[in-house]
Amino acid sequence: MKKTLYPIAFAATLLIHSVLAAEEIPLGFEQAEYVAGPGDVVTLRVDFGTPVPNGLDVYTLRLPYPSGAFDPAATTISVVPELDNDLFEENPAERSFTADYAEVSGAAPLGDPYFGTTFLEIAVTIDMNTPAGAFPLTLALPGENSFVDGDLNAIDDDLILGSATLVIEVPPPSLSETPEFDSEAGTFTLAFSGVPGRSYLLEVSNDLEDWDELTTLTAAPSGLVTFTDSTASTHPRRFYRLVD
């Protein structure tokens, strides 16, 4: 009797685990971490971790923008052809871009369910003035029944949405030329190398302890940042620093 019961119990256990595993559908980023700098274009690929049981009929997915990290005007979304008939202008996926998020929604063309794991790619441009640091990337379902399978069953509760980290690296500005003091004009000229198109705050101090904001400078397309202080001769001594 024991030899007969053990295989049955073991088979039942396998069946239970199989059913539980099928209820979880991972949907997340292809990479756990993306590294970029100001002005870079980063392609975020979003995949299913496993083929969707019964296929996919309709979908709506949102990518909230990390605060101050992306340029919304330079964001694009590419959906896999099986879910997007843009080429034939039938059932094209709808793409929405706001100041806070990018969103895509659509349906399997002509009602054909989708069984793949690749889902979409979102190309984002890093804003020129994004500060250095780590930004969380998340996915969100904007409403009920955001994902419906090929049997017309909502699978929102079965989705396990993944996350990733966007690391922004910004090289610090550096002196590109020796500062020049024009004794006749009473001016002092500074030149720095920075990130093209990035804004920097120029601060001044008389004692290296208390600093005051003087002006905001924007790096030229070459990365050069220049400033001429026309009041330099009126100060016994003056220190300058560029703040990112």
pLDDT band at 108 (very low <50, low <70, confident <90, very high): confident
Q: Residue 9: its pLDDT value, please?
A: 37
Q: What does the mean pLDDT of the chain come to?
A: 86
From 168, 196, 220, give the residue that closes a domain: 168
Any domain includes 5:
no
Task: For residues 70 and 124, state if they share a domain.
Answer: yes
pTM above 0.95, yes or no: no
Q: Residue 88: its pLDDT value, please?
A: 65
Q: Per the structure block, which two tokens stand in for 27?
A: 């949907």
| Residue 202 and residue 188 in contact, taking contact as beta carbons nearer than 8 Å | no
- Closest to 151 measured CA to CA, from 119, 106, 118, 115: 115
Q: pLDDT of 68-92, one tens digit each? A: 889 888 999 999 988 887 766 677 8
Task: For residues 77 and 182, state if they share a domain.
Answer: no
Q: Residue 31: its pLDDT value, please?
A: 96
Mean pLDDT to the nearest integer, 205-226: 90
Q: pLDDT of 24-67, one tens digit each? A: 999 999 999 999 999 999 999 999 999 998 899 999 999 999 98
From 168, 189, 204, give the residue that closes a domain: 168
Q: Residue 45: its pLDDT value, please?
A: 97
